[in-house]
Structure 1
Amino acid sequence: MKKKTSFSTKGQRADIGDMIIYRILANRYADAVGPFVFLDHIAPKIQHAINTGGTGPHPHRGIATLSYIINGEDEHFDSAGNHAKVHSGGVQWMKAGNGIIHDETLNYDSKTDSKLTHAFQFWINLPAKIKAEKPEYLAIEGKDVPRKTLNGQSGWIKVIAGDYEDLRSPIPNYSGQFLYHIHLEAGAAFSIDIADKTEVAAFLPTQAATLNDAVFEAGEFVEFDRNAGEIEISNSLQEAVDVILFGGEPYTEPIIAEGPFVMNSHLEIADAYRDFHAGKYGKIIYPGNEAP
């Protein structure tokens, strides 16, 4: 049986500098989908000049950030001393744990001739016991993201987080979670069975698609009911389409979100701000600015 749609909505503009950003989650209907509590869509754009400003250094606590770069080159710095770049198709994952400061800069991919940039940032809520752990970091290049060609060369699926059949992402799972990028050629279809009580949503970044016999527009976020059932994605266009499908088991602990922090109580939010202002999250040391 096919799953029913709970609601659909579009994001609100939340631009940073020259980046055109749509805030998809949280929205007026949902605060979370499984462990995912935040999604920004950095819309496709032809970038003519190098971005030197980035997002600027800012703190996080209680979550893991996940940046998925469809097109471009993303550079990461953090106060734990991590620094890396990933290119088109790559992922930056950072467990903020008990507190960290990071900075990311998205530019066009220096390894290709394309000036196109296009990306997503997710926040993954951590279980309370993991929120107290030290930060961790992974940089995963596109070639290392698990990928499988669909039957009949009708498209492919990438497993950004979680697992699918024999594919497993290197990103740690602290609860049931999945994040897939599904690419369907013209006229193709793909279906997936979702277990009972699983929270799941789809996002259509650039093209319309048919989800369980209903047509949704580009830019729509679609959440489904929590009953066991099938999600069928169909492409009736004359070009390929992309769908981001994500979710997982419900987060059962309290969710208190304020600014860059997601904790389990208002007291923990106050502690997060106090520790940040006390300098306990450290400081980013950018290359060339190291102490002698």
Structure 2
Amino acid sequence: MKKKTSFSTKGQRADIGDLTIYRMLANRYADAVGPFVFLDHIIPKVHPSVMNSGTGAHPHRGIATLSYILEGEDEHFDSAGNYAKVYSGGIQWMKAGNGILHDETLNVDSTTGTNRTHAFQFWINLPSKNKAEKPEYLAIQSHEVPQKELPDDSGWIKVIVGDYEELHSSIPNYSEQFLYHIHLEPGKNFTISMDEKVEVAAFLPTKHTLLNDVEFQAGEFVEFDRNAGEIAVENNLQEASDVLLFGGEPYTEPIVAEGPFVMNSKAEIADAYRDFYAGKYGEINPQKRSVSI
């Protein structure tokens, strides 16, 4: 049986510097999909020159941030001393835990010479017991992302978070969670089964696509019901299309989000701000950045 659509929506503009951004989650219908509480889509854009704006270092607590870079070069600094660059197809993952400062900058990919950027940033809510843990960090290059071809030359699937068949992401799971990038060739389809009570949403970044026989437009965020069933993705275009599919088990603890912090109570939010202003998150050696996300 095919899963039914609960709702679909388009995002709100939330631009930063030279980047055009649509905030897809949270939205007017949902605060979370499984452990995912935030999704920004940095839409595909051609830049005439090196970008030169940004918000600088900022704190996080209680979540893990995940940046998936389809096109571009993403540079990460944090107050735990971590530093790395990932390039087109790569992932930056940071568990903020009990508090950290980071500065993450997106620019054009210096390894390819292209002047396009296209990326996503997710926030993954941590269970309360993990919110008190020390920060952690992973930089994952494109060739390290688990990927497999789909049957009948239909395309491929990448496992950004979680597991799919024999593929396993290196990003830690603190609850049941998954984030898949599905790439379908023209005229092809792919079907995936979801268990009972799993929360799941799809996002169509650049092309319209059929989901369970219903056509949705580029830029749409689509959430499905929690009944066990299938999601059939079909590309009826003359060019390849992409879908992000993500979610997991419901987050059953209270969710209180304010600014860069996601905790379980207002008192914990107050503690997060108090510790930040007291300098307990450390500091980053100040440098000028290109564009922070």
TM-score range, shorter chain: over 0.9
Q: Which has the higher contact order (CA 8 A, sep 6+)?
A: 2
| Aligned-residue offset at 1:51 | 2.5
| Aligned-residue offset at 1:113 | 2.6
After TM superposition, the runs of 4+ consecutive aligned structure 1 residues lying more than 4 A away are none
User: What CA deviation, in whole Å up to 9, does each residue of 1:132-180 have, x standing for no partner?
Assistant: 0000000000000000011122100000000100000000000000000
Contact kept, 8 Å, 1:197 with 1:250, in 2: the verdict is yes
For 1:113-192, list aligned pairs within 5 A: 113-192=113-192
Asked if 1:61 is matched to 2:61, the reply is yes
**Structure-2 residue corresponding to 1:256:** 256
| Aligned-residue offset at 1:53 | 3.7
**Structure-2 residue corresponding to 1:274:** 274
| Aligned-residue offset at 1:52 | 4.2
User: 2 CA distance for matches of 1:171 and 1:285?
Assistant: 27
**Structure-1 residue corresponding to 2:231:** 231
Contact kept, 8 Å, 2:49 with 2:115, in 1: the verdict is no
| Aligned-residue offset at 1:287 | 7.1
Change (3 A) 1:52 1:85: farther
| Structure 2, unaligned runs of 5 or more | 289-293
Residues paired across the two proteins, number: 288
User: 1 CA distance for matches of 2:143 and 2:166?
Assistant: 17
Percent of aligned pairs with the same amino acid = 75
| Aligned-residue offset at 1:49 | 1.9
User: What CA deviation, in whole Å up to 9, does each residue of 1:7-53 have, x standing for no partner?
Assistant: 00000000001100000000000000000000000000012222344
Q: Secondary structure at the match of 2:29?
A: coil
CA RMSD of aligned residues (A): 1.0
**Structure-1 residue corresponding to 2:221:** 221
Contact kept, 8 Å, 1:89 with 1:141, in 2: the verdict is yes
Q: Secondary structure at the match of 2:112?
A: coil
User: What CA deviation, in whole Å up to 9, does each residue of 1:40-88 have, x standing for no partner?
Assistant: 0000001222234444110000000000000000000101011100000
**Structure-1 residue corresponding to 2:81:** 81
Contact kept, 8 Å, 1:52 with 1:105, in 2: the verdict is no
Q: Secondary structure at the match of 2:271?
A: helix
Q: Secondary structure at the match of 1:159?
A: strand
Q: Which amino acid aligns with 2:159?
A: V
User: What CA deviation, in whole Å up to 9, does each residue of 1:228-265 have, x standing for no partner?
Assistant: 00000000000000000000000000000000000000
User: 1 CA distance for matches of 2:73 and 2:122?
Assistant: 17
Q: Which amino acid aligns with 1:275?
A: D
Contact kept, 8 Å, 1:54 with 1:104, in 2: the verdict is no
Q: Which amino acid aligns with 1:255?
A: I
Q: Secondary structure at the match of 1:7?
A: strand
Change (3 A) 1:286 1:107: same
Contact kept, 8 Å, 1:55 with 1:105, in 2: the verdict is no
| Structure 1, unaligned runs of 5 or more | none
Contact kept, 8 Å, 2:256 with 2:264, in 1: the verdict is yes
User: What CA deviation, in whole Å up to 9, does each residue of 1:99-147 have, x standing for no partner?
Assistant: 0000111111111132110000000000001000000000000000000
Q: Which amino acid aligns with 1:189?
A: N
Q: Which amino acid aligns with 2:5?
A: T
TM-score under structure 1 normalisation?
0.97
